[in-house]
């Protein structure tokens, strides 16, 4: 352990470039002392390689408590791919099941969460950036699409809560996203800055609702979208009004708040400027995913240590996770889930 173990980390989650760390990355991560890292498909070749990469990240920072996140939603957003990891259906498949038979859908989502938690814990991953709590909009951008459970806020909240709570019962922290609700997107924020034109009354009666029902989940992520009825000038991720008055006060979410990836093309500005703006606007943690070391150095210079409020939220979140039962074996759950999903192929686990 280095002296970093006694130093509160920077409020950032970084990505890395490949399947192993290079010398430059090791130096940047050692100096930055980030809260954690996020893995992408480019980082995940096979189970042994992922476990070794996570060990390298821990050693580079000099802390064994760094958090390792991933976007393993199922469907299109799955960083762990066959043949080494199972292939799971998108959220919308579980929503359709629940809409046809709530008991069927609820059993399936809990089995899925248990089996997935097992896969993640085996690798050393601690945070899964799921569930998506945005409402399904068949006329919206495919950037959300079948990543959402349902058009019905109650269905979304029921399935998202079951997933999130099962994750926490099995060693994984969930992240509800994308606050305050951007199912109304018609363009992709990875490419351009979207504007959502619904009135505040419409947003409160629809998009905010599932997040209000999940306000006790300890981690959340906001969005790079302008909500014209709330703040005409700033996307939610950079809006103090949306983060404080809407997400914190109106919705009631008091968990650890992450920005979405600040390298998305929806945002304009240098990474250092954007990181500072995001923290000043009320984010607890800034997400930077590109793996660009010069950008990460700039971000590290632009932000201080995690604030007292952010640190308290993190301690609360960490306390809500129950370590996974070491004797748990997922075979029976996986077989039952396969039956419930109609015989969909899962591939081989690594």
* DSSP codes, 310-348: HHHHHHHHHHTPPPPPTT---HHHHHHHHHHTTS-----
**pLDDT over 70 (residue 5):** no
Identify the residue with better confidence: 74 or 188.
74
**pLDDT over 60 (residue 295):** yes
Start-end of H helices in the chain? 23-32, 47-61, 91-100, 102-123, 153-169, 200-205, 208-213, 240, 271-280, 293-302, 308-319, 331-340
The number of beta carbons lying within 10 Å of the beta carbon of residue 348 is: 9
Q: What percent of the chain has pLDDT over 70?
A: 96
pLDDT digits (tens, 9 = 90+) for 259-291: 999 999 889 999 999 999 999 999 999 999 999
Interval 232-253 mean pLDDT: 97
- Between helix 102-123 and helix 47-61 the angle, nearest 10°, is 60
**pLDDT over 90 (residue 350):** no
What is the predicted pLDDT for the residue at 3? 43
178 is catalytic: no
260 is catalytic: yes
Query: In angstroms, rounded to a whole number, what is the distance separating the alpha carbons of residues 118 and 178?
Result: 25
Evaluate whether 150 touches 105 at the Cβ level (below 8 Å): no
Lowest mean pLDDT among 17-31, 56-70, 134-148: 134-148
Domain spanning 8-340 has what CATH number? Answer: 3.20.20.300
What is the predicted pLDDT for the residue at 6? 58
Among 71, 146, 231, 260, which one carries the catalytic annotation?
260
pTM: 0.94
Interval 119-148 mean pLDDT: 94
Interval 287-309 mean pLDDT: 97
Among 190, 254, 292, 338, which one carries the catalytic annotation?
190
């Amino acid at each position: 352990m280095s002296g970093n173990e006694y130093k509160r980390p920077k409020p950032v989650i970084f990505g890395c470039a490949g399947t192993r760390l290079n010398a430059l990355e090791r130096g940047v991560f050692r100096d930055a002392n980030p809260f954690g890292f996020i893995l992408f498909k480019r980082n995940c070749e096979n189970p042994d390689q992922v476990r070794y990469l996570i060990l390298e990240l821990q050693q580079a920072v000099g802390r064994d408590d760094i958090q390792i996140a991933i976007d393993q939603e199922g469907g299109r957003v799955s960083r762990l791919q066959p043949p080494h990891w199972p292939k799971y259906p998108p959220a919308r498949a579980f929503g359709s099941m629940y809409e046809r038979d709530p008991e069927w859908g609820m059993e399936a989502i809990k089995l899925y969460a248990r089996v997935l938690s097992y896969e993640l814990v085996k690798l050393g991953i601690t945070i899964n950036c799921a569930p998506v709590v945005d409402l399904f909009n068949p006329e919206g951008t495919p950037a959300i699409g079948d990543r959402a459970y349902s058009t019905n806020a109650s269905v979304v909240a029921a399935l998202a809560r079951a997933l999130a709570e099962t994750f926490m019962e099995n060693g994984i922290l969930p992240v509800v996203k994308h606050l305050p609700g951007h199912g109304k997107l018609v363009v992709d924020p990875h490419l351009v800055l979207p504007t959502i034109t619904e009135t505040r009354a419409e947003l409160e009666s629809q998009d905010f609702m599932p997040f209000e029902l999940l306000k006790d989940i300890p981690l959340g992520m906001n969005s790079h979208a302008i909500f014209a009825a709330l703040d005409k000038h700033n996307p939610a991720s950079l809006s103090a009004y949306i983060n404080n008055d809407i997400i914190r006060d109106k919705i009631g979410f008091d968990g650890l708040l992450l920005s979405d990836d600040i390298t998305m093309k929806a945002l304009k500005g240098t990474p250092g400027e954007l990181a500072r703006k995001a923290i000043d606007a009320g984010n607890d943690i800034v997400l930077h995913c590109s793996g660009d070391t010069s950008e990460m150095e700039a971000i590290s210079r632009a932000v201080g240590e995690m604030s007292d409020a952010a640190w308290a939220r993190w301690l609360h979140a960490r306390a809500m996770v129950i370590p996974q039962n070491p004797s748990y074996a997922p075979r029976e759950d996986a077989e039952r889930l396969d039956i419930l999903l109609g015989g969909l192929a899962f591939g081989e686990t690594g």
